[in-house]
Amino acid sequence: MGKTAVGLYETSAEAQGVLNELVSAGFDRSKIRIMLGDNATRGLYEWNENLPDSGRGARAQWADGGASAALISMGVPRDDAEDYEEALHRGHALVSVATTDQRIDKAVDIMSHHNMVDLHDRKLSWQKTASTGTAAASAASAAADRSRTLKGNEEATLPVVEEEIRVGKREVERGGVRVRAHVTETPVDETVELRQEHVHVERRPADRPLGAGELDQLRDQTIEVKERGEEAVVSKEARVVEEVVVRKDVETHQERVQDTVRRTDVEVEQLGNETRSGNIRTDIPAWDRFAGDFRADYQSRYANSGLAYSAYEPAYRYGYTLATRPDWRGRSWADIEPEARRQWEIEYKDRGPWDKFKDAVRHAWMRVTS
């Protein structure tokens, strides 16, 4: 019974290198196939060495669905076959070789040494790229919604979105054991001692009278003596001298999964001219007027710190809030810094130490008050 090995590669040149080594190793060239994809036209082709090498003319085009159907007929699971076809559409190359059960491991070994693409990892990369594109489009749409100006009798809705994390599990292969039994012949050389009998007949000359007791010898007589010998006899007995037991144990363990979830927080700020409302200065422009400046400051000073902008945004917001206090208007940063630090260490101590974020707070204070 035969088996088929399948491998995915980045380029047709790598696939051709795999084919050449398989043929050099003695695999039947007629049993090896190279499938190619065209990510521009999303066409599928099979390499044909009998045609002149002139670009696309050297490939015989497949019918729609032909690649996955062909792979399924080779024994590839349907889901994997469809993923392989998607990889072909993205410009990858696929090599398949049909061989015997005895040589399938050799074929897999050769194909693995040619930078074979991990189909599962590549599929996750496609999904991540698609997710990033969707998120970017959503962000652009949200930005457009924020810039709308309401007219009379109109209303706008700003959804509060919160992510939930769900942790599941799936079964994956992590290796295994293949146990084979082979019959071997070992020469045995033994020595055995054998006994052989030999009869000798000897004539002796005599010249004497017949004795009185020998008168009965004068008659017909026959003496028969048989020779006997031993020969080697070989017998074999099969005995069990060892047993190999293959057993699979199942164990469970707990694995901690860590990730982040996002949610939107909606803040309401009053806009207006030189008026007073409680302890807040309403002559200060809204937060959105400065958001771009704060992000630019983060990129220039903290982008390489290992922390995202979301870690520094509370510091910028704290500096913005300080600038809205009427009782601090006209004061210098050196004058207010001790009190600003004291309030930070009371209200924002969970955000991080003051010394780490004070420059961001100061930047927001200076930018808004100026």
Q: Note if the pTM is more than 0.85.
A: no
Instruction: Quote the pLDDT of residue 99.
Output: 92
Instruction: Quote the pLDDT of residue 93.
Output: 92
SS (H, E, C) the chain: CEEEEEEEECCHHHHHHHHHHHHHCCCCHHHEEEEEEECCCCEEEEECCCCCCCHHHHEEECCCCHHHHHHHHCCCCHHHHHHHHHHHHCCCEEEEEEEECCCHHHHHHHHHCCCCCCHHHHHHHHHHHHHHHHHHHHHHHHHHHHCCCCCCCCCCCCCCCECCCCCCCCCCCCCCCCCCCCCCCCCCCCCCCCCECCCCCCCCCCCCCCCHHHHHHCCCCCCCCCCCECCCCCCCCCCCCCCCCCCCCCCCCCCCCCCCCCECCCCCCCCCCCCEECCEECCCCCCHHHHHHHHHHHHHHCCCCCCCHHHHHHHHHHHHHHHCCHHHCCCCHHHHHHHHHHHHHHHCHHHCCHHHHHHHHHHHHHHHHC
pLDDT in tens, 122-137: 888 888 877 766 655 5
Instruction: Quote the pLDDT of residue 58.
Output: 39
The two structure tokens encoding residue 311: 């870690």
Residues of the chain with pLDDT under 70: 1, 38-66, 132-154, 165-168, 265-285
Instruction: Quote the pLDDT of residue 57.
Output: 38
Instruction: Quote the pLDDT of residue 46.
Output: 65
